[in-house]
Chains A and B, each alone.
Chain A
Amino acid sequence: NAGVTQTPKFQVLKTGQSMTLQCAQDMNHEYMSWYRQDPGMGLRLIHYSVGAGITDQGEVPNGYNVSRSTTEDFPLRLLSAAPSQTSVYFCASSPEKNTEAFFGQGTRLTVV
C-alpha cells in the first residue's frame, strides 16, 4: 500500500524554469492538498481539492497552478520558478472532510 507518493524527492531549478511536482494517492481519497514548509513558518496551504475537477486556493497560491483530472493525481505546477519558491513541498490526502491527513514524503526544491 503506497499511500501518498510524491516525485521527485529533490529538484534544483534555475530562475524562470517551469516544472511539475507530482502527487498520487492510491487510497481513493476525495480531498488532496499541497503545502510548503519553510523554516520557522510551519506548513502553509498552497492549493487544495475536494474532488476530481474541483480545486481552490489556499493561503499562498501565487506562482502555483493545480488541476485535478482524476481522484488519484494532484500535480502542482510552477510556471516560472523564483528563489522565493525554494522550500519543501508536501502533498496530503484525506478520505473526507474533518478527518486526518496522510502526507507524502515531500519534495525538496531549490531555485537558484
Chain B
Amino acid sequence: SQKIEQNSEALNIQEGKTATLTCNYTNYSPAYLQWYRQDPGRGPVFLLLIRENEKEKRKERLKVTFDTTLKQSLFHITASQPADSATYLCAVLSAAGNKLTFGGGTRVLVKP
C-alpha cells in the first residue's frame, strides 16, 4: 500500500521568508497529488492538486512541485505570514481515483 511521509518536526519560520515542506511517497507514482491545510480543531481544507504530468502548480503565494523520479512533492509558501501558521497535509489519490492516502502532516509556525 502507498505510504506518504512528511517531516513530523514543526517548521518555524520568520515572517516574509519562504517555507518549504516535503512529501515523499514510497510505492507507485500517483496520477494526482493534493495538499491540504488544517487548523487546530478544524477539518482539512483543500489547497492544490497537481497531476503527474505537471511539474509545477501555483496558487497565489503557494507553489507545488511534483517529481515522479524522486517520488517527491515540495510545497512552498512564499512571503509567509503569521496567518499561514497551520498543519499542511500531503495526500495522494489511489489509481482508481476514489481513495485518498494522507501523510502525517507538517506543522508550520510563522513568527512575526
Contact = CB atoms under 8 A, between A and B. Distances in A.
Asked if A and B are interacting partners, one says yes
Interface of A: 4, 31, 33, 35, 40-45, 48, 50, 58-59, 90, 92, 97-106
B49 A100 contact: yes
Contacts of B98: 31, 48, 50, 97
B93 A42 contact: no
B102 A97 contact: no
Interface in B60-112: 89, 91, 93, 96-105
Contacts of A33: 99-100
Interface residues of B, number: 27
B16 interface: no
A66 to B, nearest CB: 14
B43 A106 contact: yes
B6 to A, nearest CB: 8
Nearest to B8: A40
B23 to A, nearest CB: 12
B99 A43 contact: no
Interface of B: 1, 4, 8, 31-32, 34, 36, 41-46, 49, 89, 91, 93, 96-105
Given A40-B104, A45-B100, A98-B97, 12 more contacts: A35-B102, A45-B99, A58-B99, A97-B96, A97-B98, A98-B32, A100-B46, A101-B34, A101-B44, A101-B100, A106-B42, A106-B43
Contacts of A97: 93, 96-98
Q: Which 9 pairs of residues, A with B, have the shortest CB-CB distance?
A: A97-B97, A103-B43, A98-B97, A100-B46, A42-B104, A43-B102, A42-B102, A103-B44, A97-B98
Contacts of A101: 34, 36, 44, 46, 100
